[in-house]
Homo-oligomer: A and B are copies of this chain.
């Protein structure tokens, strides 16, 4: 008998799951139906800032696989269809055709929730005005680019970016490259609140050096509009900033309204809670993954919400294996991320100081400066590495890196070491690639480990 899997959402997780399940089961064994609210499939949302900034030529470049390609593999993909209700005991979903056509119940044997995340839009006057954009989906990106295209003719044009996470910072850079006067507003004490404030300070300097105005500790209160109903400025409790266009990069929350209404279990951040095989806890035949779930943080032992394409893809792969009858698990994350701001590379893995405190961990911190290559080799550039190590045990809890070319992906050294629960002392001994064009004799990450190991020892002695 043919089983049916219904997949809700056709981006990274949903389509990776569909593809993997199809690799394992023929159309005679498994019918795969995918419902997607938007117009696109399998695209790189992470690439949107680069498309806006012009580094990526066209929207199509961001699409890894088109609907036609999926359909050619016996995947019944339905765009512009929204699942509006989930009936878990009845094993069925209510599907609405967004471009007219009414609603229909679809039964399922297996269900995959890949509904992604929703950009946070703070409820304030003017938030829905024309010229105010999110950058979460390709549709969002297209709308922003359409707005920018109409504004390009203006000699003096201003933009406000609200929020200073990865997306906010990347968009700010994209907009300055397009000739806007850019103001970035953030509630945090420094941009890039995915770093500790002392490291975020380095980002602020780089952004200001590029001509971006960075306003921290800013509480946005309203978007003011002109007579045409379009955004004109953004107000905070202290001031007002001109804005022909406003981009919201405040962050996202898991899109789990549907799941919540159906009584599925949500975690502390509003994401679905799954087991290690990405099955929704307590439900043998429902899987969930990507931006709508919470993941286990292997360093702190707690659940986190980390919307990131690389996890979404892995989840999809694992879910597809499970749906297809095979076995695979997602053990958890260590919280690695890397980004580029101007010519700075910014990376982190593990816990920030505040994360560690929240987890009940006590730690020492060290910060070092070193170079990406041997000091005498052309192109050697400074980088700053901060490391947190646990008191007593010396276990490395987190690493943050800010530097120029060659700095960012060094975070992977720490990411693997954190996964293996290495101590700073163990890291010192790591046999990393060395040659003058690639690293000083002591890789900067090892310099930090050496100093962290010393700080741990000193701490033993003092207290």
Contacts and interface: CB of A to CB of B under 8 A. Distances in A.
A423 interface: no
Contacts of A438: 338, 340, 345, 408-409
Given A422-B420, A441-B313, A434 B377 contact: no
A336 B378 contact: no
Interface string A415-430: 1110110100000111
B412 A432 contact: yes
A211 interface: no
A376 B441 contact: no
A412 B429 contact: no
A343 B84 CA distance: 54
A158 interface: no
B433 A377 contact: no
Given A377-B56, A439-B409, A442-B310, A431 B334 contact: yes
A98 interface: no
Contacts of A432: 310, 336, 412, 415-416
Contacts of A420: 416-417, 419-420, 422
A436 B338 CA distance: 9
Nearest to A422: B420
Count the copies: 2
Nearest to A330: B429
A126 interface: no
A408 B47 CA distance: 24
Contacts of A56: 376-378, 436
Interface of A: 12, 44, 46-47, 50, 55-56, 61-62, 166, 308-311, 313-314, 329-331, 333-340, 345, 347, 349, 374, 376-378, 406, 408-413, 415-417, 419-420, 422, 428-439, 441-443
Contacts of A336: 431-434
26 contacts: A12-B441, A44-B436, A47-B374, A47-B376, A47-B436, A50-B376, A56-B377, A309-B434, A309-B441, A310-B431, A310-B439, A310-B442, A311-B431, A313-B441, A330-B429, A336-B433, A337-B433, A338-B434, A338-B435, A339-B435, A408-B438, A409-B433, A412-B413, A413-B413, A416-B416, A419-B420
Given A46-B435, A56-B436, 15 more contacts: A12-B441, A44-B441, A61-B376, A166-B435, A310-B442, A314-B428, A336-B431, A338-B438, A340-B435, A340-B437, A349-B431, A408-B433, A412-B412, A413-B413, A416-B416
